[in-house]
Amino acid sequence: MSRAFSLYLDVLRLFAALLVLVYHANWIYHPGWILTSLGHEGVVVFFVLSGYVIAYVAATREQDFRQFMIARGARIFSVAIPAILLTAALDASGFWLQPEVYPEEYRAWGYPLVRMATSALFMNEIWTLGIQLFTNVPYWSLNYEVWYYVLFGVLFFVQGRRRIVLFVLLCLFLGPKILLLLPVWWLGVWVYRSERLQAISRPAAWLCLLASVLGMYAYIALELGQFGWEWVQLLVGSEWHRQLSFSRQFPTDYYLGLVLALHFVGLRVLLRDVEAIPGWFDRGVRYFAGATFSIYLFHQPLLWFYSAVFSFVDEGLSRYLLVVPMTLLTALALATVTEHRKQGWKRGLERLWPAGGLRLGQSPAT
């Protein structure tokens, strides 16, 4: 992966995290800008990007299933476990300070130990379960993505009949909701691993980039996300549509995933030979992109907590301009003690899963 394209992916990762943040901040104040209405789309960006990056690290860094899962576990648990604990603490404190700022839709506080346990095991969305981590709605996507890591690890590292058996058993365990968005995530894997896509000409790359821009414009201008939502509801009925939860607009998520895949295909080629990148820009992007996971998992409970703390400030734009920056700054600070410290989690997981333990497979030659 070229340095310029890697940097672009970091920019995109940060942009997607901010899209989700400002979408959830609409509860405080709705600016009416198009970018503040693309929260779900930000998650789709994360899925395609994640598939691409996971395929890259599996091909270039990890040698077997154990190394792959330990690396993924350190990345995930370093933020997920603090997010579970902090969400509980922030919600309790904020609701005690000013319960009026918490909408009914976010008051998911019953059976707290169950919510925390299923969140730690990433089982909130299997089959027809829909267990919300208190006010932390964005946590849902982690209950999809973690299992995509596991499914990928099985297919990539495990050999022979065991691979198929394990994959099928996992699919049966997970159920339809999570599997419906697996093709979106897998588009990133496909883009990385396709030798044909890596070898396209520069004119073809420009065509891919243009098609992706036009495709994104069509998605927004025609409100295709809402169309996908309504079409699936018409197809399966209101009750099954509700059960699908965050997969309720999966056909247009597939469309958006393809648009993003074209975007990656084109820019990977066009940025391949770009070398003149200012050092200050590179360092700045890497620093902020290194906090995107924390921004994503901490922002929702922080938004409500600061809304309660600053409830004396006039509702609307005044409170928005105070709460949103405070949320972002706090998430950046939390990143220094969560995802920036993932090596400690990695060492702990290595002790729990020693090198001589269960070995499911090694990386195939690539």
| Model pLDDT for residues 245-258, shown as the tens digit of each residue | 999 999 999 999 99
Report the chain's C-alpha Rg in angstroms: 21
In terms of Cα–Cα distance, which of 231, 223, 222 is closest to 251?
231
Position 32 scores a pLDDT of 86
DSSP output for 158-215: --THHHHHHHHHHHHHH-HHHHHTHHHHHHHHHHHH-HHHHT--HHHHHHHHHHHHHH
Integer Cα distance of 338 and 77 in angstroms: 9
Model pLDDT for residues 157-188, shown as the tens digit of each residue: 998 999 999 999 999 999 999 999 999 999 99
What pLDDT was estimated at residue 365?
46
Q: What is the DSSP code string of 268-336?
A: HHHTTT-----HHHHHHHHHHHTTHHHHHHHHHHHHHHHHHHTTTSPTTHHHHHHHHHHHHHHHHHHHT
Query: pTM of the prediction?
Result: 0.94
Name the stretches of the chain with pLDDT < 50. 365-366
